[in-house]
Amino acid sequence: MGMTLSEKIIARAAGRTSVAPGEIVTCSIDLAMIHDSGGPRRVEPILKRLGVGVWNPDRVVLITDHYVPATDDESRRIQSITRRFAADQAITNFYDQQGICHVVLPERGHLRPGMLVVGGDSHSPTGGAFAAYMFGVGATEMAGVLATGEIWLRVPETIRIDWTGRLSRGVSAKDMMLHLCARLGMDGGRYQAIEYSGEGVRALPMQERMTLSNMAAELGAQAGLIEADETTAKYLNAAGAPVDRSADWRSDADSRVSEHHVFDASALEPQVAAPHSPANAAPVTELAGTKIDIAYIGACTGAKLEDLRMAAEVLRGRKAAQHVALICAPASLRDQEIAQAEGTLGAIVEAGARLLPNACGICAGYGEDRFGEDVVAISSTARNFKGRMGAASSKVYLGSPYTTAASAIEGRIADPRPYLLRGKA
Amino acid sequence: MSGRAFVFGDNIDTDALAPGRYMKGSIEELAQHCLEAVAPTFAKQVRPGDVVVAGRNFGMGSSREQAAQALKMLGVSAVIAKSFGGIFYRNALNLGLPVVVCAETDSISEGDIVGVDLACGMVTNETSGRVLTGERLPAFLLDMLADGGLVPHLEKKFARQRAS
């Protein structure tokens, strides 16, 4: 019997010819990604206590994105610990204030198909879009990885999620994920490995695929993988991480999955998730008309270059409603620069958007711009748990960048499709 | 170990356990706000030895291990739930906070005295007299818990390696 993509990667990392779901194995780590919140300030004291340094500095990537910008003494202290740790441990893969880790990591060519990667952040499954087995761990476990270069894993079952057909205009990967959260629930992934496949997935550009893998976290999966193809290879070539054997990193035709779900991408409508769970998703038409105060385009889930392009498509030549604060925090500096050069960012700013730094910001509940009491917001981010993005009384609706932009214009939750049809004519 | 049960529903998230706005400060301060969005008096009422009982997907969301650390700081002796968010589950074990997967948590009421036997995965509701079967942890995780979590466990391992 063949192996799934996840099983192949785990077997390779465990030094085995094959593995089966349920087995507990010890894997060598190909790469560990850490950020300023769960990284140096938390792992350094543990490494000191253990009397060891980082097992292999070349296999560590350190990115600052949580306490950015450092606007108070405590944040500045955290950033200075982070910089000193990079120097002390000789970590040269250090990206300081370049954007959100999940976007910066592949953009700078650190991910390749077949790698086993841990990240000190729950949206680490994002790396699965590159046919890598990437998952999130907490700071203590990360310290253990940095000390030993190893981690234990229970070999996951593979849950296949097939998307037949292609998305219609104005519908995006974010809508696919909100729909899956509603259909499968926040624990539908059962901490197993999801593999997304089908024409609807293959048709997506790389950053849209990253949104699918990113939100495997919201389904409660450990990882969310997509097999490597020409789109993957093209992105990685451009990122300076060429792959020549990407065909090796696919599930075998005779491999076994524990669940197989099939969804029709062509029939999917834009989705909006009501407070306080991504699983409260429904077609936008059911929530349209809900008045909003803030429209937020941000985070690794919702402010990559492709996300900014979607928002700009709706916003170009239009203005946000007078009572709405439109806020945009591009996910990485590089994406922001490209968006600036091609006019994407201009369209968003001219619609009235206030730009925030390339950081996790409001999505992680950090920073000065957290939502105030009783604020109603629509957000292109991944999580709308009660109190996450600000006051416990704030209400956050989740939508795609298209839907967030259309809602900003109308001042109410709105279907983006009419804007795109008109734009086309 | 046994203690009073504090009972929660499904999908208790890490933002409720460790609110982002208190993440910069000390764990002692953060712990005082643990679960305040869903149970405002929890942090004040919980006493060392008490147990947290929940439904499905306890600890879903962020990888911030302060979610488990806050419970430990408050003296919670174990979390018993139908299922856990995967990262929270690993974090709890790594920090030495016992976690038990048990399908029958609905039979435990707020304030019941609940005992946990980790070695066999058994949960005893001393108030109702009912014995519930939970999942037994693999031996290597029981060892790690017995050492007090991953860091003391690795300390022992490294000490052995240096000695040999």
Cβ atoms of residues A390 and A370 within 8 Å: yes
Identical fold for domains A5-264 and A270-424, yes or no, is yes
pLDDT average, residue stretch A102-123: 98
Question: What mean pLDDT value characterizes chain A?
Answer: 96
Q: What percent of chain A has pLDDT over 90?
A: 95
**Calpha distance B25→A157 (Å, rounded):** 39
**Calpha distance A353→A345 (Å, rounded):** 9
Cβ atoms of residues A329 and A303 within 8 Å: yes
**Calpha distance A411→A220 (Å, rounded):** 33
Spacing of C-alpha A6 from chain mean position: 19
Cβ atoms of residues A382 and A301 within 8 Å: yes
pLDDT average, residue stretch A268-288: 98
Q: Which of A132, A135, A37, A34 is nearest to A91 (CA)?
A: A34
- Distance from A124 to chain B by nearest Cα, in Å? 9
Per-residue pLDDT band for B2 (boundaries 50, 70, 90) equals confident
Contact flag B24-A386 (C-beta cutoff 8 Å): no
> Is B134 in the A-facing interface, judged by CB distances under 8 Å?
no
Which residue do the tokens 């946990």 mark?
A: B116
B25 contacts in A (CB within 8 Å)? 74
Within 13 A of A387's CA, how many CA atoms are on the CB side? 19
**Calpha distance A388→A385 (Å, rounded):** 5
pLDDT average, residue stretch A251-266: 97
**Calpha distance A247→A245 (Å, rounded):** 5
Domain ranges of chain A: 5-264, 270-424
Written as six digits, the tokens of A332 are: 């990485």
Counts for chain A of helices (H) and strands (E), in that order? 16, 18
| HEC per residue, chain B | CEEEEEECCCCCEHHHHCCHHHCCCCHHHHHCCCCCCCCCCHHHHCCCCCEEEECCCECECCCCCHHHHHHHHCCCCEEEECCECHHHHHHHHHCCCCEEEECCHHHCCCCCEEEEECCCCEEEECCCCEEEEECCCCHHHHHHHHHCCHHHHHHHHHHHHHHC
**Calpha distance B31→B73 (Å, rounded):** 7
Q: What is the pLDDT of residue A424?
A: 45
- The class level of CATH for A5-264 reads alpha beta
Considering the domain A270-424, what is its CATH architecture? 2-Layer Sandwich (3.30)
Could you give the C-alpha distances from A33 to A105, A117, A224, B64, B68, in angstroms and in order?
8, 8, 17, 15, 21
Q: Which residues contact A425 (CB under 8 A, 6 or more apart)?
A: none
A137 contacts in B (CB within 8 Å)? 63, 87, 90-91
Q: What is the pLDDT of residue B107?
A: 97
**Calpha distance A348→B15 (Å, rounded):** 30
> Is B18 in the A-facing interface, judged by CB distances under 8 Å?
no
DSSP for A208-240 reads: HHHHHHHTTTTTT-SEEEE---HHHHHHHHHTT
Which residue do the tokens 């300023």 mark?
A: A36
The CA dihedral of B89, B92, B93, B97, to the nearest 10 degrees, is: -130
> Is A361 in the B-facing interface, judged by CB distances under 8 Å?
no
Model confidence pTM above 0.80: yes
Domain ranges of chain B: 2-163
**Disruptive mutation site among A68, A118, A122, A363 for chain B (greatest number of B CBs within 10 Å):** A122
pLDDT tops 80 at residue A422: no
pLDDT in tens, A300-311: 999 999 999 999
**Calpha distance A337→A331 (Å, rounded):** 11
Contact flag A364-B57 (C-beta cutoff 8 Å): no
Cβ atoms of residues A25 and A152 within 8 Å: yes
Could you give the C-alpha distances from A279 to A146, A220, B34, B61, in angstroms and in order?
35, 12, 23, 13
Q: Which residues contact A119 (CB under 8 A, 6 or more apart)?
A: A32, A33, A34, A101, A102, A105, A127, A134, A135, A136, A137
pLDDT in tens, B44-103: 999 999 999 999 999 999 999 999 999 999 999 999 999 999 999 999 999 999 999 999
- Distance from A107 to chain B by nearest Cα, in Å? 23
Complex ipTM: 0.95
- The class level of CATH for B2-163 reads alpha beta
Intra-chain end-to-end CA distance of chain A, in Å: 53
